[in-house]
């Protein structure tokens, strides 16, 4: 009989052992343990049928229907798992750690694989994820007006050995009306939380962790409440970057994208820009005057960011003026100004 591990032990084993998630494709897509392999016991439609019978008729009839569906697929399940793993040990879980994972584990054990399951299933994992966000973190926010090059600076900090959370990369969104351009389709908020949790587990949370100053939502993804509260109270390094440099950064980042995508993004902020500035921005885009487009849009974004900045405690903010974009010099400068001490 397969052994069942509580969540911490299960995740420790998962660092070196493949994880098979036997939930349906839809459940897996909504959220899963990072790195897990989906081998669904039921398809989305099959799960719906079994669930309906369970609710409207009885557990016994639902189990019977499940066996009818699964029976012809037993051999293919074993073949699929063996084709996707190396070695003879595997971890299995479902939603609650009940019949689906138990029966699948029995099948793999019968086929000669050493199998363990997750006590209380994916539901226990989700509870664990939320608990991680409640643990105190030594976050340091890197802030600045749009176009300040914060993402590039964070990447350089990471290259220099600092701990960094790149929220925009995790969310596949840059957090503005232009944020989805050039990005992959966003995952669910649930999967983002799982990915963020997995990243935090690779870090020393007693030492400082750099993160960009963002709003709570990036596109359709919302940051976890407990994590967001820690961000709001974290010290902020604010970069005061000259507007010419910011315009140059924005043109470098966005001018190569199709104009129709840029126009769609400009139209999303038309109420904030006003009719005159909107028309000027669209006209400048048509004339390939990307510097003017950036300048017009910055009027809106600067106003919005400064309004947000005004709500922070002044004593928690350190302002650093930037008049050239030498990444090495900037990262050395802000690292020296960061709280928690060098290397902490």
* Rounded Cα gap, residues 294 and 184, in angstroms: 23
Partners of 209 in beta bridges: 139
Cα–Cα distance for residue pair 184/102, rounded to 1 Å: 36
Q: Which of 94, 171, 187, 197 is catalytic?
A: 94
Q: CB-based burial of residue 256 (10 Å sphere; 0-12 exposed, 13-18 middle, 19+ buried)?
A: exposed
Question: What is d(CA 317, CA 337) in angstroms, rounded to the nearest whole number?
Answer: 11
Q: Is 297 a catalytic residue?
A: no
* Cα distance between residue 12 and residue 142, in whole Å: 32
* 112 torsion bin: left (phi>0), alpha (psi -120 to 50), beta (else): left
Look up residue 26 and give its two tokens: 């839809």
Distance CA 268, CA 168 (A): 20
Contacts of 272 (CB under 8 A, 6+ apart): 300, 304
3-state secondary structure at position 217: strand
The three-state secondary structure class of 334 is helix
Q: Which residues are catalytic?
A: 94
């Amino acid at each position: 009989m397969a052994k069942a591990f509580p969540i911490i032990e299960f995740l420790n084993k998962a660092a070196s052992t493949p994880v098979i998630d036997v939930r349906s494709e839809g459940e897996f897509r909504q959220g899963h343990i990072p790195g897990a392999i989906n081998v669904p016991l039921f398809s989305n439609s099959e799960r719906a049928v079994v669930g309906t019978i369970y609710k409207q008729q009885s557990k016994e009839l639902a189990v019977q229907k499940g066996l009818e569906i699964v029976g012809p697929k037993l051999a293919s399940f074993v073949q699929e798992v063996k084709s996707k793993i190396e070695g003879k040990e595997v971890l299995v879980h479902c939603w609650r750690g009940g019949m689906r994972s138990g029966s699948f584990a029995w099948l793999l054990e019968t086929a000669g694989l050493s199998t363990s399951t997750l006590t209380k299933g994916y539901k226990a994992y989700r509870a664990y994820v939320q608990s991680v966000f409640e643990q105190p973190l030594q976050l340091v926010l890197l802030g600045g007006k749009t176009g300040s090059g914060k993402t590039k600076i964070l990447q350089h900090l990471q290259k220099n050995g600092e701990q960094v959370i790149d929220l925009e990369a995790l969310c596949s969104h840059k957090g503005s009306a232009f944020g989805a351009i050039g990005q992959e389709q966003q995952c669910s908020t649930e999967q983002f939380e799982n990915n963020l949790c997995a990243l935090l587990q690779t870090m020393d949370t007693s030492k400082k962790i750099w993160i960009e100053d963002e709003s709570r939502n990036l596109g359709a993804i919302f940051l976890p409440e407990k994590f967001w509260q820690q961000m709001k109270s974290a010290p902020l390094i604010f970069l005061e970057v000259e507007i010419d440099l910011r315009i140059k950064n924005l043109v470098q980042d966005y001018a190569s994208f199709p104009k129709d995508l840029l126009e769609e993004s400009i139209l999303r902020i038309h109420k904030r820009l006003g009719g005159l500035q909107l028309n000027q921005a669209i006209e400048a885009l048509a004339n390939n005057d990307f510097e003017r487009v950036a300048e017009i849009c910055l009027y809106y974004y600067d106003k919005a960011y400064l309004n947000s900045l005004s709500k922070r405690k002044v004593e928690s903010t350190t302002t650093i003026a930037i008049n050239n974009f030498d990444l090495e010099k900037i990262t050395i400068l802000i690292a020296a100004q960061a709280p928690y001490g060098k290397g902490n």
